[in-house]
Each structure stands twice: as C-alpha cells, then as structure tokens.
Structure 1
Amino acid sequence: MKYKVPALLILAATMYSCASKSSAPTVAVSTEKALTPELAEGKSLYENNCSSCHKLYQAKDFSAEQWKPIVLRMQKKARLDDAQGQKIYNYLTMN
C-alpha cells in the first residue's frame, strides 16, 4: 500500500504532462474574398510574373495612386501588354 499512492501520483503526473494542451480544435477561416474571373487572372499574372524578379508586396502596402506608376513600370520590365497590366492593377486595388 505504501508504494501504490506514490506510483499512482507519478503515473497521473506523467499522463498529465504528456496530454495534449489544446482544449478545442482550431479551424482555419479564410478571410480571402471570392474573386471574379478577371481578378483571379490578375492575381495569377501578379504572382507568376512579378515573383520571378522580387518578393511580392501585399496589395495594402500601397494605395491605388501609388500602385499606378509601379504597375506601369513593372509591366514594361515584365513585357506584359496593357490589358494584363490593367488586370494586375485591378487585382491590387480591388479593396
């Protein structure tokens, strides 16, 4: 009997320390808006063309007025036509 109580306490402490610490499962919630086909194409163009030379900036990093010259300058470097540049601009300024 002397060894049963300490053994049970050690067993309980070990089980408690090895137990999972999360109390509820976490669910990932997407905050991304549904994109129209044109905006989805702009996103694809942005990710595929711009990331080949530099890191991608978040759309919120610049205002719509600041994105205009950036997209125009980068459009020429990436050899994109005006329609593709406009789709990228629309995607970046959709909010």
Structure 2
Amino acid sequence: MKSKILTLTAVTMLLVSCGTKKAPTASTAPVTPAVTETVKATELTPELAAGKNLYENSCARCHKLYEPKKFSQEEWKPILTRMQKKAHLDDTQMASISNYITSQL
C-alpha cells in the first residue's frame, strides 16, 4: 500500500511539473512592433486577410510561422508548393496564402 502511494505521488509530481507553463520573466519584444503589426493587419484587404488567416491557421498546426520577409519570393514558391500537399490545401487557398505572403515582402 505504501509503495502504491509513493508511486502515485511520483507520477503526479512528474505530470504536474511537465504540464505547467512558465511565464516569461521579462518581455524582450519592444512595444512598437506590436503596434506596427496591428496597423498592417488593419490595412489588409479582405482577400489578403483571408490569406493571412489561412496561413496562420493551416501552417501553424504543424510548425512555427515564419515572417514573410524571412524568404524572398523565389524562395517561397517551392516552400509553398511543398507545404500545399502536406496541409491539404486546394489551389484557391494556396493562391490566397501566396498573395498574402507576396504582399508582405
């Protein structure tokens, strides 16, 4: 009985320590970029906003999102082609994402 309680306690402690999120102690991002991103989001046309939404929701399911400016337009083409198959996106959705990324370059 004693060993069962100790085992249960150890497992509980392990799960609790793995499941908690630690809050960052200090924010390293300056305040100005957040304001700039908000302005960019409001300047998007409905079509580009739909592309941004698709990009954020489809791509972030599997990996971190890259800033559109991280790659050139030529570098984005093969990346998007490869990811279209993995994300199960049709040509219309892919065109919307491509237009959004191109607009941000």
Q: Which has the larger radius of gyration?
A: 1
RMSD: 1.9
Counterpart Cα distance in 2 of 1:29 and 1:54? 25
Find 1:92's aligned residue among 94, 101, 104: 101
Matched length? 70
Superposed displacement of residue 93, structure 1: 1.2
Q: How does 1:6-17 map to 2 (within 5 A)?
A: none
Name the SS for the 1:57 alignment partner. coil
Identify the residue that residue 40 of structure 1 maps to in structure 2: 49
Deviations 1:22-75 (A, max 9, x none): xxxx88743543001110000000000100000000000000111111111101
More helix by proportion, 1 or 2? 2
Whether 2:36 is the aligned partner of 1:30: answer yes
Task: Tell me which amino acid in the other structure corresponds to 2:86.
Answer: K
Find 2:70's aligned residue among 45, 61, 70: 61
Counterpart Cα distance in 2 of 1:67 and 1:90? 11
Q: Which runs of 5+ in 1 are unaligned?
A: 1-25
Find runs of 4+ consecutive structure 1 residues off by over 4 angstroms.
Answer: none
Counterpart Cα distance in 2 of 1:48 and 1:86? 15
With the length of structure 1 as denominator, give the TM-score of the two structures: 0.66
Counterpart Cα distance in 1 of 2:35 and 2:79? 32
With the length of structure 2 as denominator, give the TM-score of the two structures: 0.61
Counterpart Cα distance in 2 of 1:41 and 1:48? 10
